[in-house]
Copies of this chain bind each other. A is one copy, B any other.
C-alpha cells in the first residue's frame, strides 16, 4: 500500500456525499456527510470541492467512489466488465491527480441485457472481503435503483437493475397517486398484500391505477395506499430478482429499505439476510486502498 499515513474515502453520489478519514489500519477516525452530490458541483468545481474535503478531514490522499466517476462527475472512470472483483477495480482506477483516485463502475452485457452500476460495487465487494457475503451469493442492494447481484468466487458475475425506488418517488411526487402516497411505507398487512400481487401478477401498470380507484370507490383505505403501492413495486422487483432462483438473499443498504425488501423476500419464500451498507463501503474501499 502506497498510502502509509491513511487516506480519505469518499462515497460521492448524485445527491449527497459522505467522506471518512481512515487510519493506517482502515479504522474510521472522522467523517462528515453533506448534500454536495455531483449534481451540486458547478462545471470545473471539483478541485474546490476536493479541497473542502481536505480542509475538513486532513491533507491526505483521496479514494473516491460512486457517481463522481461517471460522465457527469469529475473524471470518468470507465466501467469494468463482469466478472469483476476488488483486484479488477483496483487495477482500473482513474487518477485525476497524483493523490486522488476514482474507483470504476461495473457493467454487464449478456443474455440480451445491458446494465451498469457505480458505487454499489464497493459496498458489495467489501462485504465479500469481510465474509459477510459468501463468495457465492445472491445480493439485493435496494436504493434509487435496486441491484440484484450474482456473486461467484468472490467476484460480481452478473447483475440486474430494477428502477423501483425511482418509480415510487416519481409516483409520490408527480403522479395522480401523489396525494395518496405521502405516508411512509411500512412492512404491514397492506404492504404484504401489495407484495403478493407483485409476486403473482404481471399487471403492474394497471394495478397502480387500481390503488386510486379502490380508494375512490371505498374499496380500500386511503392510509393504506402508500404501503400497498410500495409492496406492489417491491414485490414485482423481487419476482424479477428471484426469477433465476435463490434460496438465501443478502440484502444490503439503508435499514429503512432493507427491512421492506427482507419482508418481501420472505413473502416470496426465500430467506433474507440484512447487512449494513455503510460499514461494508469502508471495508471495500479499504481493501482497494491496500492494492494501490
Contacts and interface: CB of A to CB of B under 8 A. Distances in A.
A51 interface: no
A107 interface: yes
B217 A163 contact: no
Interface in A178-223: 202-206, 208-210, 212-214, 216-217, 219-220
A162 B233 contact: no
A206 B116 contact: no
A217 B114 contact: yes
B206 A204 contact: no
Interface residues of A, number: 43
A108 to B, nearest CB: 8
Contacts of A173: 174
Question: How many chain copies?
Answer: 2
A109 interface: yes
Interface stretch (A164-172, A256-264, A266-274, A275-283): A164-172
A21 interface: no
A114 B114 CA distance: 36
A205 B240 CA distance: 9
B205 A237 contact: yes
10 shortest A-B CB distances, which residue pairs? A202-B202, A161-B209, A114-B214, A114-B213, A162-B206, A170-B170, A116-B213, A114-B219, A115-B213, A203-B240
Nearest to A79: B217
Contacts of A55: none
A176 interface: yes
Contacts of A2: none
B175 A209 contact: no
A236 interface: yes
B208 A163 contact: yes
B217 A107 contact: yes
Interface of A: 71, 79, 107, 109, 113-116, 145, 160-164, 166-167, 170-171, 173-176, 202-206, 208-210, 212-214, 216-217, 219-220, 233, 236-237, 239-240, 243
Given A204-B204, A233-B205, A114 B164 contact: no
14 contacts: A107-B213, A113-B210, A114-B220, A116-B213, A145-B176, A161-B206, A161-B210, A162-B209, A163-B176, A163-B208, A170-B174, A174-B174, A202-B239, A205-B240
A166 B176 contact: yes
Contact of A206 (B202, B216, B240): B240
Q: Which among A161, A237, A243 has the highest number of chain B CB atoms within 10 Å?
A: A161
Contacts of A237: 205
A113 B197 CA distance: 11
A220 B208 CA distance: 30
Contact of A205 (B115, B203, B216, B236): B236
Contacts of A208: 163
